[in-house]
Amino acid sequence: MKKIQELFVKYKEIIMYLIFGVGTTVVNWGIYTVIVMLGKEVNLTIANIIAWVGAVAFAYITNKLWVFESKSWSLEVVWKELGMFLGARIFSGIFEIGLFPVLVWLGMNQAIFGVEGMLAKVIISVLVVVLNYIFSKLLVFKKKEA
């Protein structure tokens, strides 16, 4: 048990990032599902945008509080973090949208669980998670030198 605690302390930031990353995905899919299931003739793109906004808000708050432990709530700090966080998420979103057709063109359009192109989606998702972690760690929530 002590070894597990030591590993958790050593890798806490990455573990918390992955936990809240799964939570962010659940928030995104949950909001999307509710909008689509409750809406009459809802525009799927609009539902996806609303779900993305909700997921990004969830990700910002959880990353700030529990992953990178940024304690300041001054308006200056929050606006700076939020602006950089949104910018990074928009960049990684464009990266995701742009890379998908490239991977399909390269032949990674295999179906997983009967969903065509899911191999490309999985590969991109892993790359985006890594990219978002790097942006958050090095740009958005970087620790100030003491």
Residue 120: its H or E element: helix 118-135
Side-chain half-sphere of 36: how many Cα atoms within 13 Å? 12
Span 43-65, pLDDT tens digits: 888 988 999 999 999 999 999 99
User: Average pLDDT of 22-35?
Assistant: 92
Tokens found for residue 4: 């597990």
Q: How far apart are the C-alpha atoms of 55 and 26, rounded to whole Å?
A: 8
Does residue 145 surpass a pLDDT of 70? no
Residue 124 C-alpha from the chain's centroid:
12
- Which neighbouring-strand residues pair with 112? 115
Tokens found for residue 81: 């973090």
- 8 A C-beta contact, residue 99 and residue 127: yes
Residue keyed to tokens 């009459």: 40
pLDDT of residue 146: 54
Q: Environment class of residue 78 by beta-carbon count within 10 Å: exposed (0-12), middle (13-18) or buried (19+)?
A: middle
Residue keyed to tokens 């790097």: 134
pLDDT of residue 44: 84
* Single-letter amino acid code for the residue at 31: I
pLDDT band at 1 (very low <50, low <70, confident <90, very high): confident
User: Average pLDDT of 4-24?
Assistant: 95
Span 63-88, pLDDT tens digits: 999 999 999 999 999 999 999 999 99
